[in-house]
Amino acid sequence: MATQSLKELGTAALAASALFVTFGSASAFQDDGTIVICSIEPLSGVGTALGAPNYYGKQIAVDEINAAGGIEVGGKKIKFKLISEDDQTKPEQGVPLFRKCAESDRALVITGSQYSRVTESMWGLLQKRLGDSSDVGLQVPSMSFLSMKAGITSVSPWAFRNAGNEPAQHELTMKLMEDRFGPFKHYSGAIEANEAHSVAAWKAAYSPALERRNTKPSEYVEWYETDRDFSVQIRKLKRADTDFLILSSHFQANVGALLEAQRQGFKPKMIVSHIGADAIEMIDLGKKASEGIVFPTAIHMAFPEPKVKWLAEEYQRRTKEKYMPQFVGLGYEGIMIIKDAIMKAGIENTPDSLAVDRRKVRDQLAAVKNYKSFAGMTLSMNENRDIERPIYLVRIQDGQFRLYWTPDRGFLF
């Protein structure tokens, strides 16, 4: 049922995309009372379970802003128009969509994508040297609310991210698990070799963390997110007596690998993963094989803030999904951060002012400091144009994604 719902999310988003493409684009300025924001994410194919929730978080934020009358620009109320595009988790699809958003749709800001391999390719179109007239790259602020590859914003000074510091996330995750369940003797890694985020997580986060512990992987295996046979890799991990498994992989491969591990009777003492595990399919398809996995999160529906509860309920109302993955909250929060930057930028929102407006918004995003998030935290943009945010942990327990550890309360169960 959950998988079908996510397909429905993608279908609805694609329908919205077609509508906006037909009636939007270059004239979408004060004459029709809108500020254009592009939203690029996977809404069909392998990445739908991550892209669709993020899109819905953005859409809920835009609907809320517009229901309140929009924002004031030049003495009049202006509403947001969210143009939705489907990159299908493919760089060759995302790149032309990014250019379309920048040039044809003339978006003030472009948001997305979710998969780092797509985001990095799209951001390759951006200007590399800020203010350099000889650098003819696109000059439009772009913010990803999910891409986790360490250092990805270094592609361009126009690139921003609201996702989290992955090396810090995984160092904390490993330390907390070691303190509570260790010591561990045999650490092993399983890496999704075709996904930039998963490879970068291993190289920039997990591998250095192991080096700091003066240990090397007892076993190292690779697979692709679309693989269906994991028997050889699981057999290797089992033979290595792995008791701490690092699953640097998204839910698609995770589920298949975990089911194979269950078949072979392989159950490490601890399994940690990255945010790609935050998809309802981990439970719906993986069932008991996914029990006990721990991964970091930025926002969880169990947060006590009333606005988080409201967002979870609104997401459930629109999608019939009972669990709200962090991608919904990050999408909602990201649009609100952009809204705040636009309001402070003093834009004119006319066809002639677009280039200047984009630079103003870009500079405001770079200057984000002590922003009060709806989720009850204070956020600031660092020098790498990454939002610095607290780290929380989730554990799959009793068929649920349960909030497991928080900075202020420690372990919750």
* Dihedral sign computed on CA atoms, order 96, 97, 98, 102: positive
What is the pLDDT confidence band of residue 354, given thresholds at 50, 70 and 90?
A: very high
**Backbone phi, psi, residue 349, to 5°:** 60, 50
The amino acid at 338: I
pTM: 0.92
Is residue 20 pLDDT above 60, yes or no?
A: no
Arithmetic mean of pLDDT, 66-73? 96
pLDDT tens digits for range 202-248: 999 999 999 999 999 999 999 998 999 999 999 999 999 999 999 99
Q: What is the pLDDT of residue 163?
A: 86
Query: Is the distance from CB of 53 to CB of 9 less than 8 angstroms?
Result: yes
| Number of Cβ atoms within 10 Å of the Cβ of 121 | 21
Query: Is the distance from CB of 152 to CB of 159 less than 8 angstroms?
Result: yes
Q: Is 159 helix (H, G, I), strand (E, B) or coil?
A: strand
% of the chain residues with pLDDT over 90: 87
Arithmetic mean of pLDDT, 328-345? 98
Arithmetic mean of pLDDT, 377-384? 97
Arithmetic mean of pLDDT, 337-352? 96
246: closest CA among 279, 270, 262? 270
Enumerate residues 6+ apart whose C-beta is below 8 A from 265.
Answer: 238
Sheet with 294-297, strands from edge to edge, namely 219-223, 187-192, 244-248, 270-273, 294-297, 392-397, 400-406, 410-411
List, as one string, the DSSP characters of 211-264. Answer: HHTT---SEEEEE-TT----HHHHHHHHHTT-SEEEEES-HHHHHHHHHHHHHH
List, as one string, the DSSP characters of 91-122. Answer: HHHHHHHHHHHHHTS--SEEEE-SSHHHHHHH
168: closest CA among 145, 189, 191, 150? 150
The amino acid at 172: L
Bridging pattern class, strands 34-41 and 71-73: unpaired
Q: What is the pLDDT of residue 26?
A: 43
Helix axes 48-67, 326-345, angle to 10 degrees: 40
115: closest CA among 226, 255, 275? 275
Query: Is the distance from CB of 94 to CB of 40 less than 8 angstroms?
Result: yes
Query: Is the distance from CB of 275 to CB of 220 less than 8 angstroms?
Result: no
What is the pLDDT confidence band of residue 31, given thresholds at 50, 70 and 90?
A: low
Is residue 196 pLDDT above 70, yes or no?
A: yes
Enumerate residues 6+ apart whose C-beta is below 8 A from 307.
Answer: 374, 375
Is residue 23 pLDDT above 60, yes or no?
A: no
Arithmetic mean of pLDDT, 55-70? 98
pLDDT tens digits for range 156-188: 999 999 988 999 999 999 999 999 999 999 999
